[in-house]
């Protein structure tokens, strides 16, 4: 069986204790590879390598760093079919999604920051006739990057690329649930000629490898994407050590549909914002609020389309919905569907596990599920389900829907559908969401600040925000 290696000091190496975890294909339920079950000792090796590499990497010049990041992006593009297939098998997502979204975005992340670092400028502040201040931004040191399973290579590279571009060296931990493309990336980095120790990838559990990274005294900066509960644990360890932290956490995002929207465009996009990647994107619009005059029309049209969505083998080109990432996660999502019914909800579509014929008979498939009749404050409407489950609620006024939309502990993303420009501006501004999409969803411009308010996170990634995060500002004041 294939064994994944750690990538430390430029080499592919087995974990020190030679211990491994099963890597399961969620579409078949079968173990198909082994992942290192690394621990603190492997993290220490990675930190030693990253520290040794820092001086040369941070001073080699931005053109050299940019050239290497571009080379990595080129190699990702050249290997798109291998990477997309690996991502689909490892995660359960449709192959078409991996090929059209995940892998192109991974190469775009490297290319974007190869260019971004060359346009990143320091500020200067002139004190009339008295002094000039300039702010230098220098790389911090060894950065810790920890990423989740829902968009494995997409989010892993979204952290690593700006950290490296800014001149840091990196100790990174991909998800243990879908680690294969991070492993393939380590081979790509070797082929690209990335100097040894600049990027180190340590595989394994969060409570072992992740915790060892977060607690390590020589890693002063941590970038994490994942669940809010894990974010709290990380902050508990890192805050007393005064580490810089960027936490991109969960969401319970409202999708607010006004009666004056472009109905067809809204319907098409709402299918995507509800169920893309089996609903396992922190930005999915899991609470759908529909203005009462079009509630019944929307319900009929939406449910009919959802019932036609093909759930099946992720490697089949026709598949729109693949498997959810693991058996544990499937059971969690099914548990929420049960809870919704106990809370008084009516299941309009889906609501159960799907058994797919053939090789996928043991896979973790859930029918896309639509539920109505729930109160906005119930647990189903307050907690992140992170699966193919949405709820629908009617509303009558802007004030009412604004109150419901904002009434969760989360504040990540919102979508608003209206053709009234004035309302679009005013209403968006009042939403307690760090990202608002009007008449679209997941339309990404990598230059924009990305992150969450409230329990959806701390700090922002994307564009120059990430380069600011991964550098230390120093102000130098020169008296004239
Ligand atoms: N971006 C998002 O919004 C995501 C949200 N989630 C939510 O979180 C729930 C739990 O999913 P999990 O797979 O458990 O995600 P998680 O948040 O535990 O995992 C994310 C990453 O953090 C690592 N990790 C776990 N514990 C850690 C610790 N103590 N210290 C450092 N790193 C640690 C994991 O190994 C993984 O690489 C999901 O059901 C979903 O609701 C999960 C993944 C992504
Ligand atoms: O940067 C993006 O386009 C998407 C990010 C998505 C997540 O962070 C997530 O689902 O966890």
Write out the two tokens for 172. Answer: 């990174």
Q: Which residues pair with 353 in a beta bridge?
A: 366
C-alpha 233 – ligand 2 centre gap (Å): 20
| Ligand 1 nearest atom to the CA of residue 250, by list position | 3
Of 152, 168, 160, 63, nearest in space to 110 by CA: 160
CB hemisphere CA count around 128 (13 angstroms): 0
| Ligand 1 nearest atom to the CA of residue 177, by list position | 13
Q: What confidence score (pLDDT) does residue 320 get?
A: 86
| Ligand 2 nearest atom to the CA of residue 158, by list position | 1
C-alpha 448 – ligand 2 centre gap (Å): 13
Q: What confidence score (pLDDT) does residue 253 get?
A: 98
Are 31 and 38 spatial neighbours (Cβ–Cβ below 8 Å)? no
C-alpha 148 – ligand 1 centre gap (Å): 6
Tens digits of residue pLDDT in 84-122: 999 999 999 999 999 999 999 999 999 999 999 999 999
The 8-class DSSP code of residue 214 comes to: H
Are 145 and 158 spatial neighbours (Cβ–Cβ below 8 Å)? no
Of 270, 276, 240, nearest in space to 258 by CA: 270
Residue nearest to atom 9 of ligand 1 (CA): 227
Write out the two tokens for 216. Answer: 């390590």
C-alpha 226 – ligand 2 centre gap (Å): 10
Residue nearest to atom 18 of ligand 1 (CA): 230
Per DSSP, the three-state class of 199 is: strand
Q: Is the CB of 155 under 6 A from ligand 2?
A: yes
Distance from the first to the final alpha carbon of the chain: 68
Q: What is the complex's ipTM, to 2 decimals?
A: 0.96
Of 248, 234, 480, 284, nearest in space to 386 by CA: 284
Q: Which one of the ligands is nearest to 325 CA?
A: 1
Of 415, 418, 461, 420, nearest in space to 435 by CA: 415
The residues carrying an active-site annotation are 248
Q: Which one of the ligands is nearest to 145 CA?
A: 1
Are 73 and 214 spatial neighbours (Cβ–Cβ below 8 Å)? no
Q: What confidence score (pLDDT) does residue 313 get?
A: 98
Note every long-range contact of 13-22, with CB atoms under 8 Å and residues 24 or more positions apart, other chains counting. Answer: 15/39, 15/42, 15/203, 15/204, 16/41, 16/42, 16/45, 17/41, 21/176, 21/204, 21/205
Q: Which one of the ligands is nearest to 451 CA?
A: 2
Q: Which residues pair with 172 in a beta bridge?
A: 145, 201
Q: Which one of the ligands is nearest to 204 CA?
A: 1
Are 256 and 289 spatial neighbours (Cβ–Cβ below 8 Å)? yes
Q: For a pocket test of ligand 1, which of 91, 149, 153, 226 has the largest count of ligand atoms closer than 8 A to its C-beta?
A: 226
| Ligand 2 nearest atom to the CA of residue 284, by list position | 10
C-alpha 239 – ligand 2 centre gap (Å): 24
DSSP per residue, 286-316: -EEEEEGGGHHHHHHHHHHHHHHPPB--TTS
Taking the C-alpha atoms of residue 94 and residue 87, their distance in angstroms, rounded to an integer, is 9
Taking the C-alpha atoms of residue 36 and residue 106, their distance in angstroms, rounded to an integer, is 23
CB hemisphere CA count around 65 (13 angstroms): 28
H-run or E-run covering 257: strand 254-257
Please enumerate in sequence order all residues whose Cβ is within 8 A of that of 72, keeping only pairs 6 or more positions apart, or say none.
107, 110, 185, 188, 189, 192, 194
Instruction: Ligand 1: list residues with CB < 6 Å.
Output: 146-150, 173, 175-177, 205-207, 210-211, 214, 225-227, 230, 233-234, 249-250, 282, 332, 384, 386
Per DSSP, the three-state class of 388 is: coil
Q: What confidence score (pLDDT) does residue 136 get?
A: 96
Q: What confidence score (pLDDT) does residue 311 get?
A: 96
Give all domains of the chain, ordered by start, each with its CATH number.
2-249+456-479 (3.40.605.10), 254-446 (3.40.309.10)
C-alpha 395 – ligand 1 centre gap (Å): 33
Q: What confidence score (pLDDT) does residue 57 get?
A: 98
Per-10-residue mean pLDDT of the chain, 480 residues long, equals 97 98 98 98 99 98 98 98 98 98 98 98 96 97 98 98 98 98 98 98 98 98 98 98 98 98 98 98 98 98 97 93 98 98 98 96 98 98 98 98 98 98 98 98 98 98 98 97
| Ligand 2 nearest atom to the CA of residue 105, by list position | 3
Global pTM exceeds 0.80: yes
């Amino acid at each position: 069986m294939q064994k994944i290696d750690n990538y430390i000091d430029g080499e592919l190496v087995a974990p020190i204790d030679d211990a491994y975890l099963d890597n399961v294909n969620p579409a078949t339920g079968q173990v198909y590879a082994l992942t290192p079950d690394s621990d603190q000792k492997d993290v220490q090796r990675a930190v030693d390598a990253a520290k040794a590499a820092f001086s040369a990497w941070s001073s080699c010049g931005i053109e050299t760093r940019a050239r290497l990041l571009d080379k990595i992006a080129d190699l990702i593009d050249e290997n798109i079919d291998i990477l997309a297939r690996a991502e689909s098998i490892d995660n359960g997502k449709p192959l078409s999604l991996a090929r059209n979204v995940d892998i192109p975005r991974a190469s775009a992340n490297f290319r974007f920051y190869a260019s971004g670092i060359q346009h990143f400028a320091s500020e200067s502040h002139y004190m009339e006739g008295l002094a000039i201040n300039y702010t230098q931004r220098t790389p911090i040191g060894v950065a810790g990057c920890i990423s989740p399973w829902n968009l494995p290579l997409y989010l892993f590279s979204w952290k690593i690329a700006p950290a490296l571009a800014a001149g840091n060296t990196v100790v990174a931990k991909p998800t243990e649930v879908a680690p294969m493309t991070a492993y393939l990336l380590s081979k790509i980095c070797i082929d690209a000629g990335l100097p040894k120790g600049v990027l180190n990838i340590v595989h394994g559990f969060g409570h072992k490898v992740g915790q060892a990274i977060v607690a390590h005294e020589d890693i002063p900066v941590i970038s994490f994407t994942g669940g809010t509960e894990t974010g709290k644990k990380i902050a508990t360890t890192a805050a007393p050590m005064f580490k810089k932290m960027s936490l991109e956490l969960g969401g319970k995002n409202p999708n607010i549909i006004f009666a004056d929207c472009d109905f067809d465009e809204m319907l098409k996009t709402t299918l995507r914002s509800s169920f893309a990647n089996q609903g396992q994107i922190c930005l999915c619009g899991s609470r759908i609020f529909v203005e009462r005059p079009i509630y019944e029309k929307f319900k009929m049209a939406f449910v009919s389309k959802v019932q036609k969505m093909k759930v099946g083998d992720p490697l089949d080109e026709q598949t729109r919905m693949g498997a959810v990432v693991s058996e544990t996660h499937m059971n969690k999502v099914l548990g929420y569907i049960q809870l919704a019914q106990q809370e008084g909800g009516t299941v309009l579509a889906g609501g159960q596990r799907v058994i797919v014929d053939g090789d996928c008979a043991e896979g973790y498939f859930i029918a896309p599920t639509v539920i109505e009749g729930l109160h906005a404050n119930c647990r189903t409407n307050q907690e992140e389900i992170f699966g193919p489950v949405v709820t629908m609620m009617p509303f009558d006024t802007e004030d009412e829907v604004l109150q419901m939309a904002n009434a969760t502990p989360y504040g990540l993303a919102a979508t608003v559908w209206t053709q009234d420009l004035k309302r679009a501006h005013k209403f968006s501004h009042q939403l307690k969401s760090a990202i608002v999409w009007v008449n679209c969803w997941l339309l990404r411009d990598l230059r924009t600040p990305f992150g969450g308010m409230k329990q959806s996170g701390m700090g922002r990634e994307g564009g120059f925000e990430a380069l600011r995060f991964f550098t230390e500002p120093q102000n130098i004041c020169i008296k004239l």
